[in-house]
Amino acid sequence: MSESEGNSAYGKQQFKRSKSHFTDRVTADGRDGWPVAEGRYRLVVSRACPWASRALVSRRLLGLEEAVSLAVADPIQDDRSWRFTLDPNGRDPVLGIRFLSEAYEARERAHPGGVSVPALVDVPSGKLVTNDYQQITLDFATEWTALHRDGAPDLYPAPLRDEIDQVMAEVYEDVNNGVYRTGFATDQGEYEKACEGVFRRLDLLSERLATRRYLVGDSITEADIRLFTTLVRFDAVYHGHFKCNLRKLTENAVLWAYVRDLYQTPGFGDTVDFDHIKRHYYQVHTGINPTGIVPLGPDLSGWSVPHHREELGGRPFGEGTPPGPVPEHEEVPAPGRP
């Protein structure tokens, strides 16, 4: 999710998602100059951002909390980008910076594009390594295996990668990015096309998930992570703020049960902060919500209701085991709890 420089323009100019400018990879062999190493990199996220939330879930499921430290930005940006005002003295305690843009500038001054999360920053140099939100989690699953916890699931199993890639491409185009094209549409026709595309894909996903617990195979994969981070925000922000209001997610029995199943699985719901999500979208996107008023709803108590998806079979972690408790300093409030 890019920095706030374009927030006042949303809804006034056609939305186009920028590609990641920094696409270096952190790999086991260090071929891009960035080898996997415990404690070397810091993951910068906003809990408001669905793209960053993928990395939060992946890091939890794989047990990389000790290997990759975490910096959480304030959900409310200013014109200098994501800021560390949640930390004492307004500085990230590890990187020593006030704004994520400082790590970007340390890597490349006057770089093109905005300042986005997730971002991996090299702690020794303070330089950004990558903001490639599409690749970071895939590398967590495949390149960081030496640092995975015992019992870590295989989130990108080789025999299923072609199918996972196909499903993720469809979800990205019509759902992950589709809600943004809907919310930032500049005219009626553009809006209707995007909104109809979102719900057409949701209907297809509902059909797919009616008889299977997970999107691909019998356990959680990267595809489920990428769909979850949009669905968990759907009724809270996309239905109202982005006008994706043909139906609420809670009105789709299959998808509502599916996303509750994931939310109640260790590694998913324990990374979600609905307060950050709502305040970011409603207060930062001034182009489409100029008052900055944050709605009181929706009621979040339903997230803990039994889903009964286990009746479809499947094992959440495959041959693996659930992740351990959330580190105390990374805990987030449960829905409905201040």
- Our answer to whether residue 10 is catalytic in this structure is no
- Catalytic, 49? Answer yes
Dihedral sign computed on CA atoms, order 152, 220, 168, 240:
negative
Catalytic residue among 10, 41, 49, 244: 49
Instruction: Give the integer Cα–Cα distance in Å for 184 and 181.
Output: 5
**Packed helices 253-263 and 188-209: angle between N→C axes, nearest 10 degrees:** 70
For residues 179-189, one letter each, b for 16 or more C-beta atoms within 10 angstroms of the residue's C-beta and e for the rest, the string is bbbbbbbeeee
Catalytic-labelled residue, pool 10, 133, 156, 180: 180
Q: Which among 238, 118, 116, 115 has a CA at the least distance from the CA of 178?
A: 238
Per-residue CA distances from 76 to 7, 228, 238, 281 (Å): 11, 23, 18, 9
- Residues labelled catalytic: 49, 180
